[in-house]
Amino acid sequence: MIALLIFIALTYNIIIIAFIIGIDAIEIFTEIKKPKNKFSIVIPFRNERENLPDLLKSIATINYPKNLFEILLIDDYSKDNSVKIIETFTSKNTDFNISILKNKNTFGSPKKNALKLAIKKSKFDWIITTDADCLVPKNWLQSFNSFIETHHPIFIAAPVKYEAENSFLNSFQQLNFTSLIGSTIGSFGLKKPIFCNGANLCYLKSSFIEVNGFNGNNKIASGDDVFLLEKMTEKYPKKVKYLNSTAVIVTTKPEKTWNNFINQQLRWAGKSGSYTNNFTKFVGILVFLENLILIGLFFTSFFSFTALITLGVIYSSKLVFDSILISKTEKNLNIKSNYFQYLISGMIYPFFSVIIALTSLLFKGFTWKGRNFKK
């Protein structure tokens, strides 16, 4: 039994080392090309009065010819004054091409329905998606344009980071999110992409149509990003790229409460059973088993010295390799975590992740944006 546990832990470490190597394989992109490509920025929103003013301010700073991009904001049945905030911004910034659309369907995945509606209405070749609680950098479109002209992709994943305050909840979320971004970058470096984030995606409208968009997973509440990545990777394996540049990093906010954070994690976990990429499934199962082993050894170690030694070896090796992955990712994102909070988070995370996985498996639902969803 101990041999099996060590084998699983060793396999986990090998995967993390592979992701570390993958991060190094992704070059930092700094080229600047003449503005050429036209973009449709698509942003669904629901009850975002607290976040929209900051998002719109960041959009106002975009350094790109205004005739080469449009902004489509899709109201997903907001009950606050979100629409009024956008209308006020539009009236003061008449040189921007801004449209407010009304989501027409809340069945299955309201967000996917909103994105589909906007993509259908969009005028330009390239679709860029982000979220209403995000801030976009001023050279965002310039970076995508230059990357497109240099590498000729059809699907581009790009980095997202948290704007975290100094609290344990925020630090825990940031470390959790940073490890996910690190795995994302690393998997692209290995040419086996497994994750991306809809808060910073760019893809050809024609390719979205060719892979039938969200068809096949439009009843699953989340996953507008990863399921599309899987389709694009299958059809265009050499045209799916990761843009590693500080100039394109989108900033978002962590959840304000543990309850919101747990529901976010349940939402993300709920789509994992529908992944079609075998490598993605393998990594997910391996991470679950690694954390389950640590929990089992923790309780067993009170009665067995062998279990205590095994726990020490497996946990310390995990801590080392995870820290290298996070450190490299933080360097790419220009952030720095608190080492003490990292150690505390490392002890809590196995319990947290296993509870989230089992809850998602057993209860099959979550609450998000004031709505109850099934997986």
- Residue 364 pLDDT exceeds 70: no
User: Is 295 within a domain?
Assistant: no
Q: What is the pTM of this model?
A: 0.90
Cα angle value 349/354/360 (rounded, 5°): 125
Confidence of residue 267 (pLDDT cuts 50, 70, 90): confident
Task: Return the closest-CA partner of residue 129 out of 203, 179, 61.
Answer: 203
Q: Is residue 345 part of a domain?
A: no
Q: How many domains does the chain have?
A: 1
Cα separation, 289 vs 350, in Å, equals 10
CATH label of the domain that carries residue 61: 3.90.550.10
* Spatial separation of the C-alpha atoms in residues 364 and 370, rounded to whole Å: 17
Beta bridge partners of 99: 72
- Paired strand residues for 40: 70, 127
Cβ-based neighbours of 23, under 8 Å, separated by 6 or more? 182, 185, 186, 189, 325, 328, 329, 332
Q: Compute the radius of gyration of the chain from its Cα atoms.
A: 21
User: In which order are the strands placed within the sheet that holds 39-45?
Assistant: 98-102, 69-75, 39-45, 126-129, 201-204, 155-157, 240-242
Q: Could you report the per-residue pLDDT of 104-146, keeping only the tens digit for each?
A: 876 668 888 899 999 999 999 999 999 999 999 999 999 999 9
Q: What pLDDT shows up at residue 106?
A: 61
Interval 41-81: pLDDT, tens? 999 999 999 999 999 999 999 999 999 999 999 999 899 89
Structural domain range at position 226: 28-175+192-258
**Per-residue model confidence (pLDDT) at position 266:** 85
- Under the banding of pLDDT at 50, 70 and 90, the label for residue 318 is very high
* Kind plus residue range of the DSSP H or E element containing 44: strand 39-45
Query: Which H or E run contains 99?
Result: strand 98-102
3-class SS of residue 40:
strand
SS3 content of the chain, % helix, strand, coil (to 5): 55, 15, 30
pLDDT in tens, 332-362: 898 887 777 788 888 899 999 999 888 887 7
What pLDDT band is residue 211 in, cutting at 50, 70 and 90? very high
**Virtual CA dihedral for 210, 212, 197, 143, nearest 10 degrees?**
20
DSSP 148-202: HHHH--SEEE--EEE---SSHHHHHHHHHHHHHHHHHHHHHHTT------TTSEE
Contact partners, residue 101, CB within 8 Å, separation at least 6: 72, 73, 74, 75, 114, 117, 118, 121
Asked if 78 contacts 48 with a C-beta cutoff of 8 angstroms, the reply is yes
Query: Mean pLDDT for the chain?
Result: 90
**Is residue 4 in some structural domain?**
no
State how far the Cα of 107 lies from the Cα of 64, in Å rounded to an integer: 36
Residue 204 within any structural domain of the chain: yes
Asked, for residue 7, whether it belongs to a domain, the answer is no
Query: Is the pLDDT assigned to residue 229 strictly greater than 70?
Result: yes
In contact, 45 and 351? CB cutoff 8 Å: no
- Within a domain: residue 70? yes
pLDDT single digits (tens) 1-35: 788 888 999 999 999 999 999 999 999 999 999 99
Q: Is residue 202 part of a domain?
A: yes
Q: What is the pLDDT of residue 215?
A: 82
Q: Is residue 351 part of a domain?
A: no
